[in-house]
Amino acid sequence: MKESIHKYFQIGTIRWMSFLKTGVIESVKRIASDDFFDAIEITKCDSDEEREAVKSLLEQSHLKICYGAQPRLLGPKLNPNDLDEAGRKAAEDTLLEAIDEAEYLGAKGIAFLSGKWENESKEQAYAQLLKTTRNLCDYAATKGMQVELEVFDFDMDKASLIGPAPYAAQFAADMRMTHHNFGLLVDLSHFPTTYETSKFAVQVMKPYITHLHFGNAVVKEGKPMYGDKHPRLGYPNSANDVAELADYLHVLKQEGFFNPKNPLVLSMEVTLAPGEDEEIVLANTKRCLNRAWAVLED
């Protein structure tokens, strides 16, 4: 492409994935100081002091602020589709808190993920997830905010209810029947873990996609970083490199996602393997994105 990728997407990174070794405030400052980034994805702050400092930095930055509530669920193992109502409510409560914190920090919504499920109780889990998500969307709507569900693997690592692309589209369609402030977050990293191609996944979920990620996964059992670990692009025995990223961008272009008037966030979700360096892996990801964009046809 001859035109800048920044015309069509707000390029972001996920702070807690990119900077495993650097503190929250310093890593927010480093991202905010790098004009390659148009967006930042943040999560729960550990203290009022940290929250105030992050807010101050973000207010100066002109970055699009996104809030990922996934760590609020994954850390304490909370499940928004828990069949136990007390467990479901605990997950819902932390996500409602996430909406408040996201609003305070300047984000216009939150993203989260579904919980684990059992095959014999899948329909009940689906109903529980609808209940949680509708409650979140009701609350977010009072603040003019959006709720996004990230699509994960269903049988490899996270083993989330949502799930392969057709099931995610079904869930999104059910949600859109009652709430217009709901969307899906899709990630190139997860397509190999759901045994799907970029073309299939994007086409199936197209009406509901409101947020994009890209990254990598190792889907060969027994190999380092196997599962939903988001290693750098080109990692040994992994599924995605420049060619797969270029294909993802090609599919997004073909499916009408290049929208200069209302560009979606496209964030790199890449983290470190043992012994790796934050700055080098971040630069690696930028190089891969730049190259994939350069070989994309106008």
**d(C-alpha 146, C-alpha 170), whole Å:** 19
For a pLDDT cut of 70, what percent of the chain falls above it? Answer: 100
153 pLDDT band, cuts 50/70/90, is very high
In this predicted structure, what is the pLDDT of residue 249? 98
**d(C-alpha 7, C-alpha 258), whole Å:** 8
Mean pLDDT of the chain: 98
In this predicted structure, what is the pLDDT of residue 199? 98
In a 3-state reduction of DSSP, which class is residue 246? helix
Beta strands in 215-287 (DSSP E): 264-268
Residue 194 CA neighbour count, 13 Å, CB half: 28
For 69, residues 6+ apart whose C-beta sits below 8 A from its C-beta are 43, 44, 94, 95, 98, 102, 110, 111, 112
Question: Which residues pair with residue 212 across a beta bridge?
Answer: 186, 266
53 pLDDT band, cuts 50/70/90, is very high
Residues 101-151 pLDDT 10s: 999 999 999 999 999 999 999 999 999 999 999 999 999 999 999 999 999
φ, ψ for residue 147 (rounded to 5)? -125, 130
In this predicted structure, what is the pLDDT of residue 76? 97
In this predicted structure, what is the pLDDT of residue 37? 98
Beta strands in the chain (DSSP E): 9-14, 39-42, 64-68, 109-113, 146-150, 182-187, 209-214, 264-268
- Hey, what are 90's tokens? 């605990």
Residues 219-241 pLDDT 10s: 999 999 999 999 999 999 999 99
181 pLDDT band, cuts 50/70/90, is very high
In this predicted structure, what is the pLDDT of residue 126? 98
Residue 16, classified by CB atoms within 10 Å of its CB into exposed (0-12), middle (13-18) or buried (19+), is middle
Average pLDDT for residues 187-205, to the nearest whole number? 98
**d(C-alpha 233, C-alpha 283), whole Å:** 11
In this predicted structure, what is the pLDDT of residue 187? 98
- Give the global pTM: 0.97
